[in-house]
Amino acid sequence: MKETIKKISPLVGLLVLGIFILLTISVVRTSLFGEVEGEKHIYFEIVFLLLLAVAGELVVVYTKQPSVMILMILGLFMSPSFLHLSWDFLHSLNLPFNIPSEPPDILRLETILVVFAQLGAVILLFKVGMHNKIERIFAFDNLIVAIAGIILPFAVGYLYATYAGGSFAYSMFVAAALTATSVGVTVAILKEFKLLNERFAEIIIGAAVLDDILGLLVLSLVINITGTSGGESIITPLLLTLITAVVFLLGSVLAGNYFVKYLDRKEMSPKRFMLILAFVLFYAYFAEFIKLSAIVGAFMAGIILNKSKHHDDIEEKTYGLEMLFMPIFFISLGTLMDVNALVTFLIPILILSFLAILTKVVGCGVAAIFAKLKSLEAAIVGFGMSPRGEVALIVASIGLTTKILNASEYSIIATMALLTTLVTPPILQALITRREKENVG
C-alpha cells in the first residue's frame, strides 16, 4: 500500500503543477486581453513593469548599452501606438492561427504608471543630491551654462517655428519647450559610469537645477504673452515666480539644517528613516506645489541630507527604493512615445529634434569651454543638457489644455521631447568612453 502511494504522489504533484501552469497561462491571457477590474489589474501591471525592468537589466548585460536607453526602448515597445501598429501588421500577414482582434491592454491604469514614474524621478534626483554640496550647485559657471542653454534654444526655436508657418502662440511654445532640460536620463548615465563627482557632471547638474528656475520664468512669460493670463501684466507673475523660487531654495536649506541637527542627535532607527522619507517627499511636494518641480525639491533634500552623519545609512536604506522606482521612470518615458505622430510629422519632428540638440550643445558647450572645461567634456555638458523629456512634455501639455496648441502641434513638441531623450544616451556613452580612453592614454 505504501509503495502504491509513493508511486501515485509524484503523479498527483505533476498533475497539480500542470493544472497550475494552465491556470497561470489563463490568468495572464485574461489580464492582457480580457476584462479585469481596475483594482485587481493594478497588481498585474506592477508585476509586469518589474519583470520588464529585470528583462532590461539582462539586455544591458549582454548588449553593454546604457540601461536608461534599453529601458526606454522597452517602454516604446509597450506603448499603445506601437502595439496597435504591430497588431495591424500581424493581421495583415494572414497567419494560420488566430490572434486576438485587439492588441494587449497592458497598462490600463495610467495613474499607477505616472505615480511610479514620478517617484522614480524623485528618488533618482534625491540620490544625486546626496552626492553634491550646495555651494557647487549655485556656482557662477553653472549659471553661465544655464543662461546659454536658455537663450539660444529659445531664439532658434521661435525663429524655426515662425519660418515653418507656425502661429505666434505655437512658435512661443516651441521656443519654451526647447529651453527645457530633463536631466534625469543624463544623471542616470553619469551615475552608471561613476562620474557624478567629476567637475563636468557637477556643472550639468547645477546648470539643470538653475535651468528649471529660468525655464519657469520663460514659461510664465510665454503664457502671459500668448494671452492666457486674463490681461494681467507680464512682470508681476515673472517676479512672483522668481521670488517664490529663491525663497524656497534658501528657506529649504535653512530649515533643512535644523532637521539634520535633530536627525544626528541619535543613531539611525526605523523611526528616523521614516522621517527622512517624509522629509524628502515633503520637499518634493513643496516644490511641485509652488510650480517649481518635484525633482528640484527632492534634489534639495538630498543636498541637505548630504551633511548628515547618517549619510551612508541613508544611501544603503534607499537603495531598494531606487531599484524599484527608477526603472519604471525610464520605461514610462518610452510608453509616452507616439509612433503615429513620428510617422505623420516625421520631417518637422526630426528638424525640431536636431535643433533642440544642436542649440544645447552649442549654447551650453561653448559656455562650458569658457568655464575652462576641455572640448570633449564641454561636448558631454552640451549633450547632457539636451534631453527635454517630461519637462518639455509639461510645457506642451499646458499649451494643449489651455487650447493654445492643437493636437498636431502638441504631438510634434511631445515627440521631439521624447526623441531627444531617447537619442542622448548612446551619444553620451560614446563621448564618455572616448574621454576614458584619452585619460588612460
Domain of 185, CATH number, reads 1.20.1530.20
Domain-embedded: residue 147 = yes
Residue 279 has what pLDDT? Answer: 94
Buried b (16+ CB within 10 A) or exposed e, 99-113: eeeebeebbeeeebb
Buried b (16+ CB within 10 A) or exposed e, 138-175: ebebbebbbbbbbebbbebbbebbbeeebeebbbbbbb
* Alpha helices, DSSP H, located in 130-183: 134-137, 140-163, 168-179
Give CA separation, 376 vs 147, 197, 361, 385, in Å. Answer: 21, 17, 11, 14
Residue 65 has what pLDDT? Answer: 65
Domain-embedded: residue 327 = yes
Residue 231 has what pLDDT? Answer: 47
CA angle 432–438–440, rounded 5-degree value: 105
Residue 358's CB is within 10 A of a number of other CB atoms, namely: 15
Rounded Cα gap, residues 247 and 62, in angstroms: 48
Domain-embedded: residue 53 = no
Instruction: Return the C-alpha cell found at 102.
Output: 485587439
For helices 294-305 and 199-225, give the axis angle rounded to 10 degrees: 150
Rounded Cα gap, residues 308 and 423, in angstroms: 37
Residue 248 has what pLDDT? Answer: 85
Instruction: Return the C-alpha cell found at 393.
Output: 512634455
Domain-embedded: residue 35 = no
Domain-embedded: residue 175 = yes
Domain-embedded: residue 134 = yes
Residue 229 has what pLDDT? Answer: 47
- Write out the residue range of the structural domain in which residue 272 sits: 115-440
Q: How do the pLDDT tens digits run along the chain, 441 residues long?
A: 556 655 556 777 777 777 777 777 777 776 666 676 666 777 777 888 888 888 888 887 776 666 777 787 888 888 888 888 888 877 777 777 677 777 777 776 667 777 877 788 788 778 877 876 776 677 888 889 989 989 999 999 999 999 988 888 888 888 888 988 877 777 777 877 888 888 888 888 888 878 767 776 676 667 666 654 444 555 666 677 778 878 888 898 899 999 999 888 888 888 889 999 999 999 989 888 887 777 778 888 988 998 888 888 888 888 888 888 878 877 877 777 777 777 888 899 999 999 999 999 999 999 999 888 888 999 999 999 998 876 677 677 777 766 777 777 888 888 888 888 888 888 888 898 888 887 776
Residue 240 has what pLDDT? Answer: 75
Q: For 36, phi and psi rounded to 5 degrees?
A: -130, 135
Number of domains in the chain: 1
Residue 115 has what pLDDT? Answer: 80
Cα distance between the two ends of the chain:
77
Domain-embedded: residue 312 = yes
Domain-embedded: residue 8 = no
Cβ(303)–Cβ(133) under 8 Å? yes
Q: Specify the pTM.
A: 0.69
Tell which residue, 412, 410, 361, has the closest CA to residue 383. 361
DSSP letter, residue 232: -
Give CA separation, 290 vs 213, 283, 337, 365, in Å. Answer: 11, 11, 28, 31
Q: For 138, phi and psi rounded to 5 degrees?
A: -95, 40
Helix H, strand E, coil C: the string for 320-361 is HHHHHHHHHHHHHHHHCCCHHHHHHCHHHHHHHHHHHHHHHH
Give CA separation, 19 vs 15, 28, 44, 93, in Å. Answer: 6, 14, 20, 33
